[in-house]
Amino acid sequence: MEKTILDIERLLSRYFIGLMVEILGVVLLDCLGLWLIARIGFPYAMGIAFIAGLLNVIPYVGPIIGEVIGVLLCVILKYGAGVGLDVNIWVFALIVFCIMLATQLIDNFIYQPLIYSTSIKASPLEIFIVLLIAGTIGGVVGMLVAIPAYTVLRVIASRFFYDLKPVKRLMPDIDKENTDALI
């Protein structure tokens, strides 16, 4: 039982470290894009990117809210403080939107599959299905809790229910005696 608790703690800490890496990756890409391409001042770009990175943690709706807030703040900064590219305000909003959209695409297709598959040892399809089920059952709150809860359930299933066929199918490469491959 003690080993199971340690495994759960280790796996959850890897998940949260992966989450922090993902947030930092989104902040870095958004900040560089806003600073270098949209020509917003570095402190403004860092603040907007930080907001977008934090909101990115909320599955599905978080990135959309982060992009909307980011575009609005950039347009307000351009209109009020005169920072940014010297183009029409609609073109500027489109450029900022494209920068943040490119960051989201990189996050969705590169960061998330790499980070989550290595941090909790689950395939991206598993994670997607878990998020869909949790979103249907619990909404946004369910989606926030989905991956940590699924991680705990995987460890418990690998320790106590490995002899069952569904568990063996989900985790075929785990040795019954040694579940360190999960962690």
pLDDT, tens only, 111-132: 887 777 777 677 778 878 888 8
Any residues with CB less than 8 A from the CB of 54 and at least 6 apart, and which? 23, 66
Band of residue 51 on the pLDDT scale cut at 50, 70, 90: very high
List the alpha helices (DSSP H) in the chain: 2-32, 42-55, 61-81, 89-106, 112-119, 124-160, 165-170
pLDDT of residue 181: 47
pTM: 0.73
Rounded Cα gap, residues 157 and 2, in angstroms = 15
Average pLDDT on 74-96 reads 92
